[in-house]
Amino acid sequence: MSEVTTRTAARLELRDVAVAFGGVQALSGVSLVVEPGDVVGLIGPNGSGKTTLLDSISGIVAARRGSIHLDDVDLADYIAEERAGLGVVRSFQDCTLYPELSVQDTLMLCEDARRAVSVITTTLQLPWARRAERAKRQAVDEVIASFGLDRFRNHLTGHLSTGTRRVVDLASIVLARPRLLLLDEPTAGIAQREAEAFVPLLRKLHEVTGCTILLVEHDVPLTFELCPIVHVMQSGAVVASGNPADLRKDPRAIAAYLGASDEALSVTGPVGGLGLAGP
Taking only the tens place, the pLDDT of each residue in 61-79 is 999 999 999 998 999 999 9
CATH code at position 236: 3.40.50.300
Do 256 and 118 belong together in one domain? no
Each residue of 19-47: pLDDT tens digit? 999 889 999 999 999 999 999 999 999 99
Each residue of 106-122: pLDDT tens digit? 998 888 765 544 444 44
Q: What is the pTM of this model?
A: 0.81
Mean of the pLDDT values across residues 219-243? 95
Give the number of domains in the chain: 2
Q: 274 in a domain, yes or no?
A: no
Do 61 and 187 belong together in one domain? yes
Do 42 and 113 belong together in one domain? no
Q: 116 in a domain, yes or no?
A: yes
- Give the pLDDT score at 179: 96
Do 137 and 208 belong together in one domain? no
Tell which wins on pLDDT, 55 or 1. 55
Q: 123 in a domain, yes or no?
A: yes
Written as one string, the DSSP assignment of the chain is -TTGGGSPPPPEEEEEEEEEETTEEEEEEEEEEE-TT-EEEEE--TTSSHHHHHHHHHTSS--SEEEEEETTEEGGG--HHHHHHTTEEE--TT----TTSBHHHHHHHHHHHHS---HHHHHTT-HHHHHHHHHHHHHHHHHHHHTT-GGGTTSBGGGS-HHHHHHHHHHHHHHT--SEEEEE-TTTTS-HHHHHTHHHHHHHHHHHH--EEEEE-S-HHHHHHH-SEEEEEETTEEEEEE-HHHHTT-HHHIIIII-S-HHHHSPP-----------
Do 36 and 108 belong together in one domain? no
Q: Could you list the residue range(s) of the whole structural domain that residue 208 is in? A: 1-10+20-70+176-261
Q: 60 in a domain, yes or no?
A: yes
Q: 271 in a domain, yes or no?
A: no
